[in-house]
Amino acid sequence: MANPVLGLKANWKQFFVLVIVNALVGSMLGMERSIFPQFASEVFGLSSNFAFLSFITAFGFSKAITNYLTGKFANNFGRKKLLILGWILAIPVPILLIFASNWNYVILANVLLGVSQGLTWGSTVIMKIDLVGEKDRGFAMGMNEFAGYLSLGVSAYLSAYLAEKFGVSPTPFYIGVVVSILGLLLSIFLVKDTHHFVKKESETATLEKVERVFLQTSIKNKTLSSITQAGLINNLNDGMVWGLLPVLLLSNGFSLNQTGVITATYPLIWGIGQLGTGKMADLFSKKKMIFGGMLLQGLILLLLPNLMNYHLQILLMVLLGFGTALVYPTFMAAIADHTHPVQRAESIGTFRLWRDLGYAFGAILSGILADQWGIPTAIFSIGILTIASSVIIKLRMEESSPVDKIL
């Protein structure tokens, strides 16, 4: 494309293809979401929370590292090539889970899943931002995360339904077989690379390039590093909810179907909510949205272990999902606001490295706390950390643009 035109309207067809692809990415993750506690106990006899949560630790570390590498090398190798590689690595995941003879095969499957998610989700994030330009970044991230987490929630519910009807293995994992093959085919034949859009945007960019993008995003830049720590804590509490909430619900007498509905409600609201909150990030204060979303998440987590009623749990998941929806698309839109177009992929990759390390840290921390003092204490402790993260945003993050200071 000799003269690419930035903007959602001009690139809606390719944008829509990327939305569909990311929905498939989310479905791969959702197939594990609600059934793994039962899978671990029935098939492998695991009883330790720490041992069970090892699969999230493996997933979190591999996805986090791949997130950074995807951003680091997106300009060199091309977004589309990384996306296709991610889908190729996704294909063995459900096969390993179906035929796993011991827990180490499950760990290996989740290492591959993490690498695949880092490549596929990371590529679609970068490509959407490339296409739409500055005006619609929040909306682009909202659509991206909406597609991913809505499909994650649907897949989580479907896998729980299939597990209850046909058994916890192998039927639920057939979802992954179909999704991975379809994702690969769409990426090969319909997705186009977007690196030339970055060159176009760079011609009119006003932000200066910085040295050591990794350090700026991680520590040095007040705004970028504040957003990064909030991303880490957000996924730390999500990793805890992912791993411990189903265990908590099942141990309190909830059926597998009820557990599936409750655990699926959180990512469904998270996903659907981002249709609105993504656009809000283009119009209102990103700082206030991140602060409010993190604070709401923390408060809900403090209540979560004490309200063991089916309908109240669904309400709490709705609120937790809304709190996460407020921050998730806003994180990357704010990162993009503060980085030069050429360095944006690496800065987003660095943010996503730390954000998804939250999965691993959350699994390790909550697993240790749950084994030593019980699941309610683990959830309460993560809630306090989430509230502390909101305070850091309030005190340290700068507003992204002049409009943020009045809205």
pLDDT over 90, % of the chain:
61
136-165: per-residue pLDDT in tens?
A: 888 998 898 888 888 988 898 899 899 989
> Binning pLDDT at 50, 70 and 90, where does residue 400 land?
low
- DSSP string over 104-170: HHHHHHHHHHHHHHHHHHHHHHHHHHHHH-STTHHHHHHHHHHHHHHHHHHHHHHHHHHHHHH-SSS
pLDDT for res 404: 45
pLDDT for res 393: 97
Least trusted range by pLDDT, from 118-122, 132-136, 193-197, 287-291: 132-136
The average confidence (pLDDT) of the chain is: 90
pLDDT for res 401: 52
> Binning pLDDT at 50, 70 and 90, where does residue 407 land?
very low
Q: Which residues contact 372 (CB under 8 A, 6 or more apart)?
A: none
Q: CA 363, 366, 371 angle in degrees (round to 5)?
A: 115
Q: How many CA atoms lie within 13 A of 292 on its CB side?
A: 13
CATH superfamily of domain region 10-396 = MFS general substrate transporter like domains (1.20.1250.20)
What are the tokens at 183? Answer: 């994702």
277-302: per-residue pLDDT in tens?
A: 999 999 999 999 999 999 999 999 99
315-362: per-residue pLDDT in tens?
A: 999 999 999 999 999 998 999 888 888 899 899 999 999 998 988 888
How do the domains of the chain map onto residue ranges? 10-396
Q: pTM here?
A: 0.83
Distance, CA of 47 to CA of 247 (rounded, Å): 10
